[in-house]
Copies of this chain bind each other. A is one copy, B any other.
């Protein structure tokens, strides 16, 4: 059986959980509390020298890290990975953009507010500006389309919804992003997230 080492409060970890649930795969979840050094123990570092959750471990003991790499591997051959090469490439584009231009701001603001107990004015303005800019870019992209890539839900939607749906916990107001809010509801419904 697959084993997921993850922190259930982390969007990156939840992505993997939602996909496995959607695929009706059996798996074991081992909770790793990143706030008390759970991802820095010798045992955990032996699985992933980067000390990051989620880390998936296969039946044979081989590990795989990086949430979006895990999604790509698990979802291979499903409808969540477009057959069309260009659409598949655009999905990859969104996955890399999520980790580079969205997560480091939208998720980090939430982490600082929720995990570290920072006040609204204690989060670096640069983090808030870039997070807002990422959300605005998604709003623009979703204004005339149902899903981020092509005509069907894909891993791009799953990966991006993880922190977008809880952006308010980082102090990002979604009231002025109607297309984004409608898309969040669609993606949640598609994956049974709620």
Contacts and interface: CB of A to CB of B under 8 A. Distances in A.
A93 B54 CA distance: 12
B73 A85 contact: yes
A9 B57 CA distance: 39
Interface stretch (A31-39, A96-104, A163-171): A96-104
Report the copy number of this chain in the oligomer: 2
A105 to B, nearest CB: 12
A8 interface: no
Contact of A50 (B49, B90, B97): B97
A72 interface: yes
A137 B101 contact: no
A50 B137 contact: yes
The binding surface of chain A is classed by DSSP as helix
Given A76-B85, A99-B100, A141-B49, A92 B65 contact: no
Contact of A69 (B58, B76, B95, B137): B95
Contacts of A141: 49
Contacts of A100: 66, 99-100, 103-104
Nearest to A56: B89
Interface string A57-87: 0100010111111101100100000000110
Contact of A86 (B62, B68, B89, B97): B62
Given A99-B99, A100-B100, A93 B69 contact: yes
Given A50-B137, A64-B90, A99-B100, 4 more contacts: A49-B137, A50-B97, A62-B86, A96-B99
24 contacts: A50-B101, A52-B101, A58-B86, A64-B90, A65-B97, A66-B92, A66-B93, A66-B96, A66-B100, A68-B96, A69-B90, A69-B95, A69-B96, A72-B89, A72-B92, A73-B86, A73-B89, A73-B92, A76-B85, A96-B96, A96-B99, A100-B100, A100-B103, A100-B104
